[in-house]
Structure 1
Amino acid sequence: MTGEAPSIGPPGGSMGLGAMTDRIGPDRVVGVPLGEITSLAYDSRHVEPGALFFAVPGEHTDGHLYVTDAVDAGARAVVVQQELPAPGAPQLVVANSRYALADAADLWFAEPSRHLATIGVTGTNGKTTVTSLCAQILASAGQRPGLLGTVNIQVGDELQENLARATTPEALELQELLARMVAVGNQTAVIETSSHGLALGRVRNCRYRAAVLTNLTHEHLEFHGTFEAYRDAKALLVDEAPLAILNRDDPSWAVLREHARDRVLSYGVHEEADVRASELRVRSDGSHLAVAAPGWSGTLDIPLPGSFNVENALAAFTFAVGWGIDPDLAAKTLATAHGVAGRMERVDLGQPFSVVIDYAHSPDAIEKMLRVLRPITAGRLIVLFGSAGERDLLKRPEMGRIAAELADLVVVTDEDPRGEDPEEINRQIADGARAASAKDDENLWVINDRRAAIAHAIGLAQPADTVLLAGKGHEHNMFVASGSVWWDEAEVARQELHAAGYPRTSDVTEDGARQESAP
């Protein structure tokens, strides 16, 4: 890191419109861009007098429809992708207003990523956990990381819940977060980076020093169109970073390797992996494995359950090796690492069966969770899940098929239906389950109301069973046709366990201590 740490925003809270115009580099300018701008905005409802407004095309609407509102609210100038008739303010006409927003935000916050070593973590599954593990290793190495993940945000030493539903925020919020990290002394920043964030340019100007790839499977095809386009979006991170950490066991390995511009370190069980795992022993409370890395060999003990967390830990360990952190220190950190809320999270009120909450919401993630839970479940495996509305339609029957083949009992329910018909979403999932021989009211139930579905799944459970509640994880809301409503999967599960009579009176000793039941 070089130079003095920047403050949050420009000195005095304003910047010349001419200087900002130079940075954005519009194709043409309509009107005369004079005066000072006092803020940046891409939502007309947040425009204040003196703002520079960016008309950004979105999924549901187009910012160009609100340029007049922005000017009426006092916008000094507007950034547009096509010239508009007489908006009443100078127009900066650009090819891509999202890219212009990212460039403007970078300048406005004094290019914070030049003062931080930024690490991007992307992939279909495991991003949030790997982001957390990398940050924990960096902290152990004294490199004071900031963190931006789906579940948490860390600025300085303060860890707070990420209340936004987007994994990667828009460029304006992202650059402000990076600037806040710099201002409080963070030296590194680990950024969970989504395919949307990459494809839409939200992470433009993050100046990544390292890219960590977990795995690539079927996801977000409603946005990208094809798996190849989805993979290419992920590869944008590899294109930029001088250090790429790639999964040698992933089918997309060879394609991603071609995108790497400098150093590559691979990980996996593949015999050609740079950091290779072997002698894997998976337990219900964690895993043990032997690892061979360049110049180092030893073992990793991981206190996170599930074979997929072996892959996550190996990715973080390989990052540490590539980053130059002592492998022994990285191994020691992973041995005491903590997990992430809503990932393999257990809800225990003393019931004689297990209730597990996980964010798994793709075919691959559902399959991995069921395969992890099967060998540690003495009884039946019950899975409850749904699929988000206005998202990838193709994955719905596939998730139904996987659930029917790998679980004993399947409960299909709502998961953020948004403006789609919940019954139609759930029918598509259930049809996939029926095609795999699931039978209604025998081992398949469709219950649209998620609370009622959870109550039903708990009612089905017998001693030694496992109930997997998949899809919502850590989230604290649900998107329905009318908007956002409260939801907390763990709290609802606790409430329904209480309603089912847990903890039982017989589960409590005379001194009031609860007796732990077997999983």
Structure 2
Amino acid sequence: MPALHDLLSDLFAELRGDDAIMVTRVVYDSRQATPGSLFVALRGTHTDGHCYLADAASRGAVAAVVEEWPSQDVPGLRTIARVSDTRVALAAIAARFYGHPASDLGLIGVTGTDGKTTTTFLIDAILRTAGYRTGLIGTVALRIGDEFVAHDLRQTTPESLDVQAFLARMRATGVAWAVVEATSHGLELHRLDHCPFDIAVVTNVTQEHLDFHGTIENYRRAKGRLLEFVRDRPERAYPRGIVLNADDEGARSLARFAGSVPILWYSATGKAVLVAENARMTDKGTSFRLRYGDQAADVHLRLFGLWNVENALAAAGTGILLGIPLDQVVTGLQQLAAVPGRFTPIDCGQPFRVIVDYAHTPKSFERVLPLARSLARGRVIVVFGSAGERDRIKRRLQGAIAARLAEFAVFTSEDPRHEDPDAIIAEIAEGAREAGAQEGQQFVCVEDRALAIREAFRRARPGDIVLLLGKGHEQCILYGDERRPWNEEAEARQALRELGYDCSS
């Protein structure tokens, strides 16, 4: 049990009270406070932790870290420390509270607009094939050794306190390498501070999250922090390197943050040291020939989509930097059967195909829709929305892409949050109209997602493919502060049952 002054030793803090008190727990949610807790007040988009000091104290918190002094005394809080940035402070405090667990683990960070989750799953498969005990922190799930837990945190990169807690559990169970999805939000908001990353992987950097970052350059700058973590890493007994996609201009732009750290470039078009040749779709997945220097091997992925060739190259590059033999790298790539919510088929015996996929960016739409077109004997029908309080520019782009690459679209809600869902859908529809589509002919707007799915199925004919995009693995839809339970795959099956199909198998 550490003393408060030990937890604050890396920070410049003004103190009121006793800094020798013992801290039993660190929390940033006042509802999680227990006797002896230290409460760190974070400012968010819709709320401010400083408003919950009294609530934390009422539950047993004895100390708090703030950015501004409270306007009146808070009964129960024996000590208050003021810092300039509580997110920076939380990361440092969490690392100290858990004994800097990352010091005893190899750390691999994967960032990029699209492909992060699949790439982390592929890296994890390679590492496990090579005999390593692994950990995984990402969008879909948390792995701690042999424990694999699907979650719906709705934060790809958790808060720094949770990251350090997960890493501590990994250390306790003998994990050798941890693979972490590193989002631009997570990097910018200091959730990954005090994580000495050894390997950084960048899949691609296209337009996303401009609502938060403001400009594409700021977005890239946030991504670049991951490379700087590797660049500035202290000496450790782990290999160090960076894996970049030579085919993506955004990924190439981050090379300037690498300093003198070696970069392994990969390419699906043959212009790098690690390349894919003869990539093709098969009835069982995606195949290609992997070439690294004078070594080559055939790879047969069990994942559909030529974009997964790039994800596989990123994962293979990671394995190569770690010194894993190429045959083990290939075996690991071929071990991964599926990634939750990624191009997942729903088969209840219906005469049209139904696919659930997490695609939610213009770039991912431009990849998934042509794949559906190549597989369809009939039309491509797509159901999707666009997230509220996120990059508004992409809404029209998504509508235009749907108008261009699908025969019919149903525009619906994804996660409207505190925005008007019908207004979001109207922006998507405007993009479709600008691309030449007419409402009622090439698209309809149905705000209720469950009804939107049923509308698409009602219109589907034998040989068509219906794509349900944007939710994938997620277990809720966000309306305001409400998390409405949602399971895209289960909803699709229920809608098919209502049409008389057997989904029991």
Category of TM-score, reference length = shorter chain:
over 0.9
Q: C-alpha separation between the residues in 1 aligned to 2:376 and 2:284?
A: 13
- Distance in 2, Cα, partners of 1:284 & 1:443: 30
Contact 2:245/2:252 (<8 A) preserved? no
> Is 1:184 paired with 2:173?
yes
- Give the Å deviation of 1:71: 3.4
Whether 1:266 and 2:252 are equivalent positions in the alignment is no
User: Matches of residues 248-397 of structure 1 in structure 2 within 5 Å?
Assistant: 248-261=246-259, 262-397=261-396
Matched letter for residue 241 of structure 2: L
Paired residue secondary structure (2:57): helix
In the alignment, the residues of structure 2 paired with residue 175 and residue 84 of structure 1 have an alpha-carbon distance, to the nearest angstrom, of: 28
TM-score under structure 2 normalisation?
0.94
In 2, Cα distance between equivalents of 1:151 and 1:483: 20
Q: Which structure 1 residue ranges, 5 or more long, are not aligned?
A: 1-13, 505-512, 515-519
Q: Would you say 1:467 and 2:456 are equivalent positions?
A: no
Taking the TM superposition and a 5 Å limit, the aligned residue runs for 1:152-171 are 152-171=141-160
Q: Answer with 239-248 or 73-82: which moved more.
A: 73-82
The answer to whether the 8 Å contact 1:400/1:433 transfers is yes
> Aligned-pair distance for 1:271?
4.2
Offset of residue 154 of structure 1:
0.9
Change (3 A) 1:254 1:215: closer
TM-score by length of 1: 0.92
Question: Which of 60, 75, 81 does residue 46 from structure 2 map onto?
Answer: 60
Question: Residue 216 of structure 2 is aligned with which of 224, 227, 230?
Answer: 227
Alignment match of 1:96 (pick from 85, 96, 109): 85
Contact 1:120 / 1:210 at 8 angstroms: preserved in 2? yes
> AA paired with 1:35?
I
Verify the 8 A CA contact 1:248 1:270 in the aligned structure 2. Answer: no
Aligned to 1:10: none
Three-state SS of the structure 2 residue aligned to 1:36 is coil
CA distance in 2: counterparts of 1:32 and 1:476, whole angstroms: 44
Q: 2: distance between equivalents of 1:278 and 1:293?
A: 11
Counterpart code for 1:98 = R
Name the counterpart of 1:246: 244
Q: Secondary structure at the match of 2:278?
A: strand
Equivalent residues of 1:284, 1:376 under 8 A apart: no
Q: CA deviation at 1:294?
A: 3.1
Task: Name the CA distance, whole Å, in 1 between partners of 2:481 and 2:18.
Answer: 43
Q: Residues 323-343 of structure 1, C-alpha deviation per residue, up to 9 Å, x if partnerless?
A: 111111111221232221110
Instruction: Give the C-alpha shift of residue 320 in structure 1.
Output: 0.8
Q: Does 1:497 align with 2:496?
A: yes
Q: Which amino acid aligns with 1:32?
A: D
**Are 1:74 and 2:72 an aligned pair?**
no
CA RMSD of aligned residues (A): 1.7
CA spacing shift, 1:28–1:22, aligned 2, 3 Å = same
**Which residue, out of 190, 201, 215, partners 2:204?**
215
Shift of the 484–302 alpha-carbon distance from structure 1 to 2, 3 Å rule, reads same
How is 1:404-483 mapped onto 2 (pairs within 5 angstroms)? 404-481=403-480, 483=482
> What is the aligned partner in structure 1 of residue 237 from structure 2?
none
Cα distance in 2 for partners of 1:245, 1:341 equals 24
From 113, 123, 132, the counterpart of 1:124 = 113
Tell me the secondary structure at the aligned position of residue 256 of structure 2: helix
SS in 2 for 1:280: strand
CA distance in 1, matches of 2:155, 2:420: 23
Partner of 2:95: 106
How far apart, CA to CA, are the structure 1 residues paired with 2:407 and 2:5?
A: 65
Q: Deviation at 1:220? A: 1.1
Cα offsets for 1:425-446 (capped at 9, x unmatched):
1000011001111111111110
Structure 1: distance between partners of 2:471 and 2:268: 31
Output the CA distance in 1 between the equivalents of 2:468 and 2:192: 32
Q: Deviations over 1:10-43 (max 9, x none)?
A: xxxx2112212213x2242233312211111112
Report the 3-state secondary structure (helix = DSSP H, G, I; strand = E; otherwise coil) of the residue aligned with 2:387.
coil
- Per-residue deviation at 1:482? 6.0
- 1:72 CA drift (Å): 4.0
1:38 to 24, 44, 49: 24
The separation in 1 between residues aligned to 2:279 and 2:338, in whole angstroms, is 20
User: 2:204 aligns to what SS in structure 1?
Assistant: coil
CA contact (8 A) 2:129 2:331 kept: no
CA distance in 1, matches of 2:319, 2:92: 30
Aligned-partner residue type, residue 310 of structure 2: E
User: Equivalent residue for 1:4?
Assistant: none
SS in 1 for 2:265: strand
Letter in 1 for 2:121: S
Q: Which runs of 5+ in 2 are unaligned?
A: 231-239
CA contact (8 A) 2:270 2:276 kept: no
CA distance in 1: counterparts of 2:410 and 2:152, whole angstroms: 28
CA contact (8 A) 2:419 2:480 kept: yes
1:510 corresponds to: none
Q: Structure 2: how far apart are the matches of 1:271 and 1:494?
A: 41
Query: Structure 1 CA distance, aligned partners of 2:206 and 2:220?
Result: 9
State the alpha-carbon separation in 1 of the partners of residues 293 and 82 from structure 2.
Answer: 51
Q: Which whole-Å CA distance do the structure 1 matches of 2:198 and 2:293 have between them? A: 21
Q: Distance in 2 between matches of 1:39 and 1:503?
A: 50
> Can you list the C-alpha shifts for 1:223-249, whole angstroms capped at 9, x where unaligned?
111111111111111111241111000
The amino acid of 1:427's aligned partner reads A
User: How far apart in 2 are the matches of 1:399 and 1:409?
Assistant: 13
Task: For 1:16, give the aligned amino acid.
Answer: A
* Whole-Å separation in 1 of the counterparts to 2:492 and 2:60: 48
TM-superposed CA distance for 1:86, in Å, is 4.6
Separation (CA, whole Å) in 2 of partners of 1:503 and 1:43: 45
What letter corresponds to residue 378 of structure 2 in structure 1? G
- CA change 1:395–1:284 in 2 (3 A) is farther
Rounded to whole Å, the distance in 2 between the matches of 1:479 and 1:247 is: 33
Q: Which residue does the alignment assign to 1:87?
A: 73
Residue among 19, 28, 34 paired with 1:48: 34
Contact 1:68 1:87 in 2 (8 A): no
Report the AA paired with residue 21 of structure 1. L
Q: Secondary structure at the match of 2:166?
A: helix
Give the Cα separation in 1 of the matches to 2:148 and 2:6: 35
One-letter amino acid of the counterpart of residue 161, structure 2:
L
Question: Do residues 147 (structure 1) and 136 (structure 2) align?
Answer: yes
Q: Distance in 2 between matches of 1:499 and 1:245?
A: 48
Which amino acid is 1:293 matched to?
A: Y
Q: What is the DSSP-based 3-state SS (H/G/I as helix, E as strand, rest coil) of the residue aligned with 1:22?
A: coil
Letter in 2 for 1:123: G
**Paired amino acid for 1:33:** D
